[in-house]
Amino acid sequence: MSDNQQGEVRIDSEVDIVTVRKAVREIAQQIGFGATDITRIVTSASELARNVFNYAGVGAMHWNRLKQNGSIGIELIFIDNGPGIPDIEQALTPGYSTMKSLGMGLSGAKRLMGEMEIESAPGKVTKVKIRKWIGRY
Amino acid sequence: MNIVTISVVKVRDVLLVTVPPEPDDSTISQLQENILLAMERHDPKGLILDISTVETLDSYFARTIVETSEMVALMGGRTIIAGMQPNVAITVTQLGLTMGNAKSALDVDRALDMLEVG
């Protein structure tokens, strides 16, 4: 995937959460993020990949290298055909979870990344998009 | 599923576990079971979780650590998390995670001191 501008990682099983982490770490390193940002990005990706697996069973992560007005960054889009998020605002409340989990994944990933967009409705494709730029906070 | 086997070693009067850099969920949950079985077998003062090579500590991993330390406490032991990397500490805090009643130490040496088994 070395010089690609975009790619996809399938999420078919629980082990793919680790596959996603490894792919994201490699891409973020190539883009040139610092060590702390890499940890933030990989940890966010781990939370969102787990959501795909837990709620939908299968899905995918698309990644894009970003270039805009001289800034470079990374975009990760988590896509699944699961039940969808009925109330996005509620889902982003720290501690809220419909599963036996801490409920910190979605809100935490938003905080770590800075930019997050969620497209979801019951019965429709769920897309969670996160972005981070080098040197922008 | 390829579950990475993590050994639970008894040193002096404690259990020492070295967690690999990128454990998957089933490895982590298997580890919890192995730790509790080793607690019963060895009756140690406590548990040291060496996470100095761990690069990603997300909410699932954190929850399992907190749960494990509560279970170890119920069995009469103390849990010390040793060697968290700076990047991981920053990320865990910003993610909004806490480690419950588990104590932390800079490294395994200091964790051994805290458990008074030096």
In tens, the pLDDT along A1-47 reads 456 799 999 999 999 999 999 999 999 999 999 999 999 999 999 99
Mean pLDDT of chain A: 92
Closest CA to B77 of B19, B17, B18, B20: B17
Chain B neighbors of A17, CB-CB under 8 A? 24-25
Query: What confidence tier does B3 reach under pLDDT thresholds 50, 70, 90?
Result: low
Residue A50 pLDDT exceeds 70: yes
Does the beta-carbon distance from B90 to A40 stay under 8 Å?
yes
Confidence bin at A53 (pLDDT 50/70/90): very high
Tokens at A46, concatenated: 């781990």
Interface residue of B59, B88, B90 to substitute, partner A, most A CBs within 10 Å:
B59
Please report which residue ranges of B22-98 form alpha helices under DSSP H: 25-42, 59-74, 86-95
| CB–CB contact B58 A15 (8 Å) | no
What is the rounded distance in angstroms from the CA atom of residue B69 to the CA atom of residue B78? 7
pTM: 0.92
- Asked whether A3 and A41 are in contact (CB, 8 A), the reply is no
Task: Answer whether A17 sits within 8 Å of B24, measured CB to CB.
Answer: yes
